[in-house]
Structure 1
Amino acid sequence: MDPIMYNQPLPLNIPNSEQELYQRALALAGYTMKELADAAAMPIPNDLKRDKGWVGMLLERYLGASAGSKPEQDFPHLGVELKTIPVNAQGKPLETTFVCVAPLTGNVGVTWENSHLRKKLRRVLWVPVEGERSKPLAQRRIGTALLWSPDSHEEQQLRHDWEELMDLIVLGKVESITARHGEVLQIRPKAANSRALTEAVGEFGQPITTLPRGFYLKKAFTGALLAKHFQI
């Protein structure tokens, strides 16, 4: 199986349509990380402990993502976000899924409808990847991609949790938020080290510094999503 797709050099051109993007993603199913990394001339790390974003970067090369590190969808001209999701042999997610940074200041006028989180999750290209640590990274395979938008029930779940969590942030209770808050969405610290602090609002409206936070989808939510579409 020749891992170089589409008979053109990497990186591929930016896809012109959602369907073109989806077909590219479907064409990757079954390939190992080594096959794709060799064709892309990308060195494979020993593990993902220090290279958490490596799989996503590899897939971006093949799919033609253009956003880079900008705070927008990976395919902004299509309004599509790319999310890789490590799964076990039964197709169940092995970890929570990072969506975006949680805003800790400047939240006046922010609603669910105009939130960055909703924009990120409006249209998602999910790419399952084998993620069990017992299998060497080079041998792990890409699964069948799924193009998804939240249905009315999923959006209501997300909205409820987002509003509850944002209320706590606005009320100056960011330090009291734990990973147990939220049914499908959680907020957790997101920083490379404890010295990477950011501004937030304290309980009495005073400025404080705290660890940056990120929004994550809980495994129960992404697991139900995959099970529904792949009939697991």
Structure 2
Amino acid sequence: MRYDDPNALLDYAQSFAGFTLGELCERYKEQIPQQLLHKKGWVGQFLEMILGATSGSLAQPDFPEIGVELKTLPIDELGRPLESTYVSVLPLINIHGLRWENSVVRHKLMHVLWIPIVASRDITIEDRQIGMPFLWNPTVEEEQTLKQDFEDVLDQVSMGNIEQVDARFGDILQVRPKAANSKALTDAIGPEGTVIRTLPRGFYLRPQFTKQCLQKQFN
């Protein structure tokens, strides 16, 4: 499915508001996982499928023709985000020339379709309900903070300090391990420019920030 503009995508996404995942799976003949421990990305992938996202795992927005990234946002019954939001992999090697302006993080966060989902842990997967989707762009101030967070982390990576970067870094963007298990190691720049093996990392949006996005949208 192709969209002429972001509002056409938004209109279609909002038509699913109020439905449970179980109801949508029944409509689209999709099997619901028994649990999401080893299928953490299933909800997002399912919604990408029914909305017609075309990027798959490519390092670009999910709807490249209109420049929109889809992000699911698990919330509790009071509308509070339950976790940080994955954005993209943090490059740990061959980062010469990488800047905020040409980064995957910026491309993905310039226009986001947020889909809140009431997903408290005591709600079964099939009973989790789709909230009202909305489109979001960062303000000038928000983008400046995102850029600063991104560049601060890249500076640490380039200096061989990846092992000192943890989730406390960054006002909006934080860095967290992004690996299936502790054996899934990747190359990174180490001290003195040597190559070390370390866990893959990813950029995530802090839940405090996505909470602010929700509050601004729904007042």
The alignment's TM-score, normalised by the length of structure 1, stands at 0.92
Larger displacement relative to structure 2 (150-159 or 90-99):
150-159
User: Among residues 151, 167, 187, which one is paired with 1:199 in the alignment?
Assistant: 187
| C-alpha displacement of 1:78 | 1.0
**Percent identical residues:** 46
User: Among residues 76, 99, 103, which one is paired with 1:115 in the alignment?
Assistant: 103
| C-alpha displacement of 1:116 | 1.3
Larger displacement relative to structure 2 (48-57 or 80-89):
48-57
Letter in 1 for 2:180: A
* 2:19 corresponds to 1:61: no
Distance 2:11 2:208 in 1: 28
Aligned residues: 219
Partner of 2:38: 50
* 2:28 corresponds to 1:40: yes
- How do 1:11-30 residues align onto structure 2 when only pairs under 5 Å count? 13-30=1-18
Q: Which segments of 5 or more consecutive residues in structure 1 lack a partner in the other structure? A: 1-12
Partner of 2:119: 131
SS of 1:204's equivalent in the other structure is: helix
| C-alpha displacement of 1:32 | 0.5
| C-alpha displacement of 1:214 | 0.3
Does the CA contact (< 8 Å) of 1:15 and 1:64 recur in 2? no
Partner of 1:214: 202
Does the CA contact (< 8 Å) of 1:14 and 1:63 recur in 2? no
SS of 1:147's equivalent in the other structure is: strand
User: Among residues 81, 85, 94, which one is paired with 1:106 in the alignment?
Assistant: 94
Partner of 2:137: 149
Does the CA contact (< 8 Å) of 1:186 and 1:215 recur in 2? yes
Distance 2:66 2:170 in 1: 30
Partner of 1:161: 149
Distance 2:27 2:186 in 1: 40
* 2:174 corresponds to 1:186: yes
User: Among residues 88, 95, 98, which one is paired with 2:76 in the alignment?
Assistant: 88
Distance 1:109 1:60 in 2: 32
* 2:160 corresponds to 1:177: no
Larger displacement relative to structure 2 (116-125 or 54-63):
54-63
Partner of 2:66: 78
Distance 2:177 2:49 in 1: 29
SS of 1:120's equivalent in the other structure is: helix
Tell me the C-alpha RMSD between the 2 structures: 1.0
| C-alpha displacement of 1:114 | 1.3
Distance 1:51 1:200 in 2: 27
| C-alpha displacement of 1:16 | 3.2
Superposed CA deviations along residues 169-195 of structure 1, whole A, max 9, x for unmatched, are: 111000111111111111111010122
Letter in 2 for 1:149: N
Distance 1:84 1:194 in 2: 26
